[in-house]
Structure 1
């Protein structure tokens, strides 16, 4: 939200007060509390008819400093709040003549106690990361009388900001106004399904606004040298998260908000959907499965979208038996073919469904302040909303899904979760404004924990559209409704890269686009991109996404890249384990791996897939692609050609190719079985050594499908490039190939 009218004036109806000077200070062993007046106090009378802002600095974990600013402390606090894991930080304070400081690990905040109000955040070398200046701590009332707390952090020259969830606007957020507020806006607007009040700076720190409700950001926009964030509340808390590298920031941030669970290995294979509004029955499903098998395209998961249930009754979790007269037999037949089964669900109950009356009688539906059940006709006629703040409602909802699990279903697509009303009363008394964004956390957690309980650790996976901070614990997430165009393909990637910088380790998108029917060129290019993403799903709206609908060449592209992904699984699952352990995502913006290369800081049409593979999707029907290569001699995985950096390259690729480069000095483990994603990767494993010029060594750990180490291979090479492998802990054969 913007409060000022240029630099000098306030907007009409806005009154703002800013911390001006410290009037009192309390310093304990690990906490600083400052009381800042909002005007200069020259005499006693200046303390009357004025305000104090209480500013508390403490450390919830090593390398993290929290700043809480409060105007009126007596406001009732009904929640919800983000669940964060606080750990001993070893923080300590120091008191100087004109300042006080709090240090936690490599991060220090210094509070000016003499002269103008200000905070300075610095790293272990004393380098200033960011500052809080004269308008950086305050509150404002707008023309409607609403009270807002605001904070501002200075932007250094050349400093760039990223993140704030899955945002489809420009990757670098400088110059943007962003509202962290869940919305079902597709991928072509400023709205977002996954809103995370966390941003990462190119200077090596992150900022988490610890507020689950609406957070409004002005990022070098209202004040071009500041990142401003504000909430409609009486207090505001933000946490500065130290680096120094972006990976260090994500490690610390996800240590607080939760790290991604490890998805099952089978989920990394190809998913095929019935699509949304298409006609389908078991014969259709069988024809799709047969068609994939006949064409040699391995399929891992079959997904049933909305119309597996009866019309006007979503979600009642009951098969439409006119279309599927034998659902148990159908699921069994699919699983006998080695497929996993996923079902579409959402958190809404249509009035026509028998579950509506059942849930209403049990008190499991969200109500208005007058006691009426909240309903509307958007999406489903008379639909209501399950109240996931109620433990009984969560168990009731989970019990309905358990029936499907008993049938053999393996996963759920947890759609929606964004259009959550604020004119309601929640079972646990939660603040409706704070619950609007947070609802998705309760929804996805309910479903994920059911899968965890029923299927066991390592087998739980959802396909979720909405999320907030902490939602990364319940993978996988996909990008929502995008058009079938090259532009939508690029905006989807921007959204996924932004989300990854908020600690989300696993992300997918609708291959070919959701809205409309893609041109075959779009579909084929999207296939390569989708099968070099964390998770890969063929899904559309009013048309099918089976490859043969787009020509024989599309079949060849689907087969080639599905089988390539399967061969890459020892490498990809190793990167997935890293995401679970450190919060570093599988799909990585270039800046994560190359933070010291200025050219990588704005790149949003290419990414690193794990630490060692560079992927540059082709967004052009003619196959032309321009991409940047960091320092060193890289190798095209598909052709063996060399590409030298740092430099920009322009190439032309057929539909069966794209820039897929291997980092210099990589030892890439490749599975021998390309028919499935969850094979025994140590059986006949190939270690392919790239750029082994000069002596070197690398330890490669290949996990099994539970994520545990299955084999360790110490690969070394001498100045002449001769390669040796010492095998630890695995009996299978291993082959070595040297490239270059």
Structure 2
């Protein structure tokens, strides 16, 4: 149901800004409000309704739009449109522009559109309306300003590496290859989450400019170039509820296979390598007691400057199918991944045919669009051409035929908007810039699904826009090998998780530069507690013995990596069960921002150096060479995973850790299922020979059990008599630890409470 509000002349001229040099009274704007789903209302403002509405458009409600019976009522406060739990009330005075968004039960005021909050702008400013008869020399913008409440914080908007709370920031949603140390982002997602219990999804893949309490301290301004601006307001009341509804609107994350949670090892980006190098890496890892589940061939599996032509370098890899087969048969690795991108170099085997067939993006004069950025004569695959998609999938199938199991979809941000013409003439080149990440990753992900099955597909993607959470997974891009960059990566992962991304990874040790041993080891601890874990660098390797001259001591890089890989392996029964919950609800598995679990704790909305792993584990990475770390525990009893010592929150705490530990705390009333010590690899029987660890449990505590294919086995729970129920689900020699897990006393010597 739509509710239209046509009010003219209610907006005042606004001060000039960098992006909008002229503000004008809207003389023909109208608003459409629509009840989209339970707890979701769309808001659309239009200036000239006759403007062409070019694509691409976000694929909304991909699993079907839930039925909603909207209600319209009138009262003293105005006319109210209700979409289940969310309502919008329009002021009864026809001369007052006032739209209030609130919970239908009246318990929560969310945000508003008030006077001077909707308008349009021209750039440059016309001196009289007659000039707008020819719009070729003018840019037209439309904007809205929603109110910010006192103390309200704003989060999300993709993988952003700056301050976690976006209030006070100016943000451009425009994909760029900028690393992790600037306000540029690879993954711009037009969704933000408010601490007041709602979220806003901006329904355009084009560039969005946001002034979040920056141009006007009490408002969030959203502006786009064009004649229309549409967004959805999504009610909670909790942030978990907001994300659950957002995932219905833009798509739920897909399931990833259990093997993908194991350790991934890369050759690094610009390093040369061959079969002997690969074997030496994997044999070295095995010798040092670390199992690698996925080996990743980065760009030099192809000849230099032929990227991407899908052809293995015949000098280094004369028989790639046989080599990959030997790797798997040896038990050194379970799966193999290769690096690709959507750029086609003219020196590669694929370019000539792709250009002749029209598979590459063209300039308006008919030439293939090319430039020399990244590599000489680079073209770009035009995924709006169905034949180009088929060709690209055929190339991928050729890799699958050789034993490749998963794909790293790198790049996808350098997409031109000027002097280009897509095969699909109905698309706007400006909107294609961000949206390209969606179609690129969708094509590759669905090719993997077609070959290996719906739940076996895995990407390692860098670029993203709204909706790509459906094609897991993503990693954080090019970070430096510094503690500051590790903190930037944490912030990026937290922000992206608040946009419905269940799975996230980063380059352990940092991508650029040469990590000092202490940084590498602290990053190993952080990286192995992310949902997915990969060792990867730029021009230097990330196998541990190259970092510290093969220090074999307990505090050396090799033993540190072995310990944390073993810990993640033991956590797999918990992690895989939690991943199913994350997929179902659109929640991040890890990194999960503290505010998702503790929204009533105001401190949780500002914590950007720690995170939850699922519902019950709290982790705080160490960023200091000394091993000192400060972290916050919300209300309740928290048990150290490593020592079983108990702290009680809320409060800030300080500790000092050796390289084999960090603040890792278990929430009270948790049943934590751990795999058998010493098991290798992420895939095993998650219900056999397990340790059932009880942490201050009482009646109702429970833990879901799943097998390594993600099938539900049942639930362990504490009954009214205080005893564990569901034991029949367990096999082998399982044990129960009543007051936390069985710990190693050595940790009592390496962890200090300060």
TM-score range, shorter chain: over 0.9
- Correspondence for 1:87 among 57, 66, 82: 66
In the alignment, is the contact (CA less than 8 A) between 1:260 and 1:475 conserved in 2? yes
Relative to structure 2, which stretch is displaced further, 664-673 or 178-187? 664-673
Is 1:73 matched with 2:49? Answer: yes
Equivalenced residue count is: 699
**1:394 & 1:516 partners in 2: Cα distance?**
36
Is the contact between residue 459 and residue 473 of structure 2 (CA under 8 Å) also seen in structure 1? yes
Match of 2:344 among 349, 370, 373: 349
Q: Say which of 604, 621, 645 aligns to 1:617.
A: 621
Q: Partners of 1:226 and 1:657 in 2: how far apart? A: 43
> Could you list the per-position Cα deviations for residues 436-464 of structure 1 after superposition, in whole angstroms to 9, with x for gaps in the alignment?
00001000000000000001122100000
Trace 1:228-243 onto structure 2 (pairs within 5 A): 228-243=221-236
Superposition TM-score, scaled by structure 1 size: 0.93
Contact 1:63 1:89 in 2 (8 A): no
Which residue among 97, 118, 123 is the counterpart of 2:103? 123
* C-alpha separation in 2, matches of 1:357 and 1:178: 40
Runs of at least 5 residues in structure 2 that lack an aligned partner in the other structure? 13-24, 126-137, 741-754
What SS does the aligned partner of 2:365 have?
Answer: coil
Describe the SS at the equivalent of 2:249: helix
1:173-572 matches, cutoff 5 A: 173-338=166-331, 339=333, 340-423=335-418, 424-429=420-425, 430-551=427-548, 552=551, 553-572=556-575
Whole-angstrom CA distance in 2 between matches of 1:269 and 1:387:
34
Are the aligned partners of 1:55 and 1:67 in contact in 2 as well (CA < 8 Å)? Answer: yes
Shift in CA distance, 454/40, structure 1 to aligned 2, threshold 3 Å: closer
1:92-107 map, 5 Å: 92-96=71-75, 99-107=78-86
Give the gaps of 5 or more residues in structure 1: 1-29, 42-48
For each residue in 1:666-699, what CA deviation from the matched residue of structure 2 results, as whole angstroms up to 9, or x when unmatched? Answer: 100111163111111111122100123xx42323
Q: For residue 279 of structure 1, report the CA deviation from its aligned partner.
A: 2.2
Cα distance per residue 1:688-735 (max 9 Å; x no partner): 00123xx423232111122111243223475xxx64333355555532
Partner of 1:488, secondary structure, is helix
Deviates more, 1:349-358 or 1:474-483: 349-358
Aligned to 1:46: none
Which segments of structure 1 move beyond 4 Å, counting only runs of 4 or more? 728-733
8 Å contact from structure 1 (residues 130, 155) kept in 2: yes
- 3-state SS of paired residue (2:700): strand
What's the offset of the Cα at 1:658? 0.2
Contact 1:31 1:93 in 2 (8 A): no
Which of 697, 700, 713 aligns to 1:697? It is 700
* Aligned partners of 2:265 and 2:535 also within 8 Å: yes
Describe the shift of the 1:39–1:609 C-alpha distance in structure 2 as closer, same or farther (beyond 3 A).
closer
Go from structure 1 to structure 2 and tell me whether the alpha carbon gap of 1:613 and 1:39 turns closer, same or farther (over 3 Å shift).
closer
SS in 2 for 1:129: strand
TM (norm. structure 2) is 0.91
Q: Which residue in 2 is equivalent to 1:132? A: 113
Q: Work out whether residues 687 and 729 of structure 2, in 8 Å CA contact, stay in contact via their aligned partners in 1.
A: no
Structure 1 position 89, deviation (Å): 1.9
Q: Distance in 1 between matches of 2:39 and 2:26?
A: 35
Deviation at 1:280, TM superposition (A): 1.0
- Given that 1:574 and 1:703 are in contact with CA atoms closer than 8 Å, whether structure 2 keeps it comes out as yes
From 678, 681, 690, the counterpart of 1:685: 690
SS in 2 for 1:56: strand
Equivalent residue of 2:307, what SS?
coil
**Corresponding residue of 1:64:** 40
| 1:323 partner SS | coil
8 Å CA contact 1:571, 1:668 repeated in 2: yes
Distance in structure 1 (CA, Å) of the matches to 2:26 and 2:115: 17
Distance 2:603 2:164 in 1: 14
Contact 2:46 2:228 in 1 (8 A): yes
Q: Distance in 2 between matches of 1:544 and 1:283?
A: 15
Contact 2:632 2:651 in 1 (8 A): yes
1:105 Cα deviation from its structure 2 partner: 1.3
1:667 corresponds to? 671
Q: 1:336 deviation in Å?
A: 1.1
Q: Tell me how far apart the structure 1 counterparts of residues 704 and 77 of structure 2 sit (CA, whole Å).
A: 53
- Displacement, 1:112? 1.7
The whole-number CA distance in structure 2 between the counterparts of 1:74 and 1:652 is 64
What aligned pairs does 1:629-640 form with structure 2 within 5 A after superposition? 629-640=633-644
Q: Which residue of 2 aligns with 1:142?
A: 123
